[in-house]
Amino acid sequence: MTAPSTFGLSSEARNLHWLLTNLVEEVPGILSVAVVSSDGLLLLSSDPGRNEAARRSPADAPTGPRGSAADLATIVSGIGSLTIGAARLLDFGGVKHTMIAMDEGSLFVMSISDGSLLGVHGSADCDMSVVAYHMALFVGRAGHVLTPELRSELRKSLESESTGSAR
């Protein structure tokens, strides 16, 4: 994984980048991670260069999960919205996490704070309980600092990264 540049970011934003990098590097089986705002915008990704590589040409696209970091953000946002709607309809309270086991991988979605979500795409052989445990640690450490100001800073950072790499 290539860490995105954190130059010029606040200490809170740099800490979130570090937590995300640590999650991906320390937990076996994690393929990609996305932090998504309540309105579905990608705030932080384990693979920010993925968007640009996928745009250039399919031959240049990274191996691993299909699609871009923005695709993972869209999926996470959709699943989050669907499960929140189901919980309201069933009157079961708030959604804590969602796990989807597929033949060749897993997808985990966990609420962070204020509607933000953490999404993790894992390999087929990942230990789902270990991934969920480490996601809960991430949420516990990140939830209290993910303020509207920090979300705005992270979003602007991603936008400037994508416009800078397009040049």
Q: What is the CATH number of the domain that holds 139?
A: 3.30.450.30
Tell me: pLDDT of 51 over 80.
Answer: no
Instruction: Note the pLDDT of residue 35.
Output: 93
Q: Is residue 152 part of a domain?
A: yes
| Position 120 in a domain | yes
pLDDT > 60? residue 52:
no
Taking the C-alpha atoms of residue 48 and residue 61, their distance in angstroms, rounded to an integer, is 12
Domain that includes residue 129, residue range: 11-61+73-165
CB burial of 54-82 (b: ≥16 within 10 Å; e: otherwise) equals beeeeeeeeeebebbbbbbbbbbbebbee
Residue 49: the pLDDT is: 52
| pLDDT value at residue 162 | 63
pLDDT class of 8 with cuts at 50, 70, 90: confident
Please indicate, yes or no, if residue 140 is contained in any of the structural domains: yes
Query: How many folded domains does the chain comprise?
Result: 1
Residue 4 lies in a domain: no
Residue 66 belongs to a domain:
no
Indicate whether 1 belongs to any domain: no
Q: Which helix or strand (DSSP H or E) is residue 99 part of? A: strand 97-102
pLDDT on residue 148: 83
Distance from the Cα of residue 80 to its chain's centroid: 12
Residue with tokens 């949420």: 139
The per-residue pLDDT for range 118-134, each reduced to its tens digit, is: 999 999 999 999 999 99
Instruction: Give per-residue pLDDT as tens, 109-167.
Output: 999 877 899 999 999 999 999 999 999 999 998 888 888 888 888 888 887 766 655 44
Can you give the pLDDT at residue 64? 45
Tens of pLDDT, residue by residue over 55-101, are: 344 444 444 445 677 888 999 999 999 999 999 999 989 888 999 99
pLDDT, position 67: 60
Average pLDDT, the chain: 81
